Structure 1
Amino acid sequence: MKKSNYTSLAFKLIVFFAVTTYAMYLDITIITNRISAALSLTFSFIFLYKCRKNVPLFIVAFFIFYCNYSIVVGEYFIGGNLGVPTEEIKTTEIYGLTIRVLLIFTSIVSLFFKSRIANIDNFRIIPRDNIIIFYGLLLVLIYIFLFGINRGDFSTYTISITPMYEYSTIMFLVAYFFSGKSSIRRYLLIGIMFLFILQDFYYGGRITSLQLMILFLMLFLLERLSVKLILLGGSIGIFLNSLIDVYRQQYSLESINLIGVATNLVNNFFVFNTPVYAYHASATHVAAELLVTINDKINSFFMFLSHIFLGASNDMGDVTHYVKEHYFYNHGGGLIPSHFYFWLGWLGVILISVIVVIILNKLGSRNNHYLKIVTVTIIFSVPRWYLYTPLSLVRPVLIVSVLFIIFNIVHHIIKGSVGEQKNIDSSSLSVKNIQ
């Protein structure tokens, strides 16, 4: 290791220990809460800047930065109607601890993320040609489109999409992998993806459609992507989110005034309310951590691990649901580091921060079919694993890995059968020619 590398590492460790000491031991006041919020946003911007030459990871960094911006502005600098109206746990102490959890997470990620120029070939998925698998998955997607929504007449927002609809993004990815070079198949996939997004919008959803849009960029526009294009797309996305927020208040298109939406967005300092409410759920995690016994924390953590393999369930492993049912009301979600604070305290925050930065440093590092699929999965899943549950950092990867193995076996069986049939036909033709 060069001397400059040692110096850089020493500097990062000094900053890390300074931030950690500040977060753990300095008294919590309104002033220190604002300082912590400003530092969190600063570290988020540093991470964003370090990703400027790696466009796929810039998508991740931009989303995290915008969420943290919304939290900091909505809860610490402007407040009022930009924050969550629920006052039960919105104390200086609890919101002070929660912002320090976020501060440690953002500092570790930004300090230890390795800035590098992206090799697009390590992100570009090259499809294999298997018409049987492709159209089979297309039928599955059509089924999900028709039956993966809880339809009904709603006057206020309610969760309409099912887990099956949420995980449809993975099916789109696998279907693309077996679409081959056929333009017709790609246009079919894009068309159905567009319908999924519209339907999610219609029922007031935002996160699933956001994941599909990120997937669309990674599959169909990867080589054209630039930082400017992402910032432009992000601006349009911010406006669409505000549009959907207005729409789902009454589920009526008549209530939408485009100029009014734009004006309201500016007046609200471009704050995205989804991360603000997810942050409130994180604060309930932090508040409950002070009350839950060690045994319950351990049981909750091991139940969470079981969810990775057995699927999510509304038990102790779902921290947000458990806290809501037994301690403090929340609106769902919860930033990834607060879950680990609930289970393991400050050590848990450091642990998940290190895990996340290791994963981010590995994304796009090798040109391998499977690793590229995993990389794209982690990138398009960022809205869920950052704002909702750490389960979304692991389970989609597990599911896509299983599907990758199964369909690759099926692919080779089909291709093998076709190859054998061609050999038989060739042999028959040769015999006839000899005769």
Structure 2
Amino acid sequence: MAVHFFHTSDWHLGQFFYNHSRQYEHEQFLTWLLEQIKQKQPNALLIAGDIFDVINPASAAQKQLYQFLADAHALAPHMQTLMIAGNHDSGYRIEQVEPLLEKYNARTVGVVRWKEDKTLDLDRLLQPIYDLDKNIVAWCLSLPFLRAAEITGFNEHTTNSQNAIAYLHQQLISEAKKRKTDDQALILMSHAHMQGGETSDSERPIIIGNEEALSTALFDDVIDYVALGHLHKPQKVQHPHIRYSGSPIPLSFSEINYKHQVVEVMLDPAKADETAFQFEALPVPRSIQLHRIRGELNEVFAQLKALANGEIANIDQREYIDIEYHTDTPPLPNLRQQFEDALPKDRYRLVKISRQYKNNQIQSSSAKIQLEPPTPEKLFEQIWQSKGYSQDDAVLKDFQTLVQEAHHSLEDRNTI
């Protein structure tokens, strides 16, 4: 029996981009996605984590999600929406609204749960997908972002993060094999950083037991498709059926050239040839353009003046500008205003300016004036280097682990 589904991830609802709301862009994406659902009527929609941008999303962001689920259910009542928590989400929070989600044929897995006998609650992690006649056509093995505190110390197989992750995958896949029939597909949905995945500068590092990336060896050959979330660039990982769908909108200027998409997948285990797995990338239209302007000052001004004209009345719909100018001299005090004056009126938002020194002897070419707030990692690196210490990857990894634990601690407080 064939199963037809959409794979998407990393919506980051509620994100603010240099203090500018992305709500309009997300509205446009969700409206487009609803039209795809209406036209193609998939059996399931898989959202592979980072549904929200922060663990305590604003009410407007939550409303966007629940309104979307209601609208999707109205357009395709048979379609199941299966979601997992990412590292930006509160797993406990998104599970709290299960009664609401059930009304819209939606389910979420926020955390890995254990039974009293210290075995995994596999029923929650293994979700059936049905066709129009209520036949099971696939099983979705749902693994949210795996936090060390939630997967270690439960039995002899979970003494550390590495063997706990291997144990989780082995147990889940083993149970899925028992339940599936020959004509049912197996889909594994996971929010993780896989080895070989290409990152952008907007993705928060995932550090689990000092391991930055997981191996595709965790996935048994019996798995027909792996729906990944976390990395924002659409890409396969070693095999065509192991894929990141990527984010639906660019979440940083480094993602300008990404081909944002939703992956449409068709699986038919009854077929023994290459047609058993087929997929198509559905390009997501970009509602607001991002522009990176680079060069010496005269070149920057020329590029700014060459941008398209035409007023955009609503400031939340104006295009974003990132300027990096190259110079050997300190900036002029009114340079930002000069940039603003060179831009066509009421069409753009200048959100980032940085300075790149041409002469490395004056200042390192990596030194820039950034208007964006620094990350904890960047602050740590700056302080570490200011003390005269050389770069130490092991120390940085330890610090990133502490940051992850702090995020987790804050999340626990907010879910009590």
| Smaller-chain TM-score bracket | under 0.3
TM-score (norm: length of structure 2): 0.28
TM-score (norm: length of structure 1): 0.27
Which protein, 1 or 2, shows the higher relative CO under an 8 Å CA cutoff with sep ≥ 6?
A: 1
Judging by fraction of residues, say which structure has more helix: 1
